[in-house]
Amino acid sequence: MDGIFTALMVSYDQDGTINEQGLREIIRYNIDVCKVDGLYVNGSTGENFMLSTEEKKEVFRIVKDEVKDQVKLIAQVGSINLNEAIDLAKYATDLGYDALSAVTPFYYKFDFEEIKHYYNSIINSVDNKMIIYSIPFLTGVNMSLDQFAELFENEKIIGVKFTAGDFYLLERMRKKFPSKLIYAGFDEMLLPAAVLGIDGAIGSTYNVNGQRAKQIYELAKQGEIEQAKEIQHVTNDLISEIIENGLYQTIKEILKDKGVNAGFCRQPMKRLSEEKVAIAKDISKKYL
């Protein structure tokens, strides 16, 4: 379960309907062109939190049907509706997903005992493994080293997607939990995370920049830091221009420039102007 995982995008028609053919094309581009090691399905990048339960299941189904066993699959099932999270966990497990993940419950100020109950309830309902999805800047949930230790007492909780800038905590986690999987969640900080000994990374820009991400990760493991640094510089130039133009929309336009039917983002995400679509195409040609 180590390596580079794409936080998978989903193709939507202009009315927000899932475009199955487009989703399959995105999957194929990730596997065949970006050469990623796995896919992280129904995360933020897939616009998951704007989908109904049945739509989330449809995405899980299409992805598994297209991928079969070509790469590893992680199903993000987290929801502040615990019953939905458990339902999705059972569905993805029955489909044969290699592991589950769940974002920390957000919006309400859940205390740690409630968060612990949430994770244990989900993973103990199925015969599968859990990867915590920690993304404090969006959820407002910051957990300490001791709290992660409590969660990891459940042997079915095998790791964390660490999308935070606290690299002191990352280093402490790596030292304290050598047998747990740690995935870096910030694409722009892949190299420093790799130097600290992560097991892989999960990111949005890997939908188009997966090959460079794999190079950075492998070079860092080999101790080729200067070469990895140069690739990270180029990667961060790309990321900066994508973010400035509109993150998800621009990645989809880059995919379209590569011949992939990546569709549109769901409302209330806005459409790119013609000027920004042109900028996205320029980014595609400049970096990819």
Is residue 273 a part of any domain in this protein?
A: no
Structure tokens at 226: 């200067």
Is residue 249 a part of any domain in this protein?
A: no
**Domain CATH for 207:** 3.20.20.70
Q: Encode 192-220: b = buried (16+ Cβ within 10 Å), e = exposed.
A: bbbebebbbbbbbbbbbbbbbbbbbbebb
How many CB atoms are closer than 10 A to CB 168? Answer: 10
CA 63 to chain centre: 14
**Residue 123 pLDDT:** 98
User: DSSP assignment of 97-112, as one string?
Assistant: -SEEEEEPP-SS---H
**Residue 239 pLDDT:** 98
Structure tokens at 1: 């379960």
Burial of 28 (0-12, 13-18, 19+ CB in 10 A): middle
- Of 134, 63, 122, 132, nearest to 101 by C-alpha is 132
Compute the distance between CA of residue 94 and CA of residue 223 in angstroms, rounded to an integer. Answer: 40
Tell me which H or E stretch contains 131.
strand 130-134
Is residue 186 a part of any domain in this protein?
A: yes
Q: Is 45 annotated as a binding residue?
A: yes
**Residue 45 pLDDT:** 98
**Residue 54 pLDDT:** 98
Q: Is 17 annotated as a binding residue?
A: no
- Taking the C-alpha atoms of 28, 88, 136 and 43 in order, what is their torsion angle to the nearest 10 degrees? 20
Is residue 202 a part of any domain in this protein?
A: yes
Is residue 260 a part of any domain in this protein?
A: no
**Residue 40 pLDDT:** 98
Sign of CA dihedral 52, 53, 54, 60: positive
**Residue 30 pLDDT:** 98
**Residue 138 pLDDT:** 86
Task: Please tell me the total count of domains within the chain.
Answer: 1
Is residue 193 a part of any domain in this protein?
A: yes
Q: Active-site residues: which are they?
A: 133, 161
3-state secondary structure of 9: coil
**Residue 247 pLDDT:** 98
Is residue 248 a part of any domain in this protein?
A: no
Helices (H) and strands (E) counted in the chain, each on its own, are 12, 8
Note down the domain range covering 100: 3-225
Structure tokens at 227: 């070469």
Q: Which residues does the chain have with pLDDT short of 70?
A: none
Query: Could you tell me the CA-to-CA distances from 99 to 94, 181, 233, 236 in Å, in that order?
Result: 11, 12, 32, 29
In sequence order, the β-bridge partners of residue 103 are 133
Is residue 39 a part of any domain in this protein?
A: yes
Q: Is 185 annotated as a binding residue?
A: yes
Compute the distance between CA of residue 130 and CA of residue 97 in angstroms, rounded to an integer. Answer: 11
Q: Is 65 annotated as a binding residue?
A: no
Q: Is 43 annotated as a binding residue?
A: no
Compute the distance between CA of residue 8 and CA of residue 41 in angstroms, rounded to an integer. Answer: 6
Structure tokens at 63: 């992805």
The position carrying tokens 């990321």 is 239
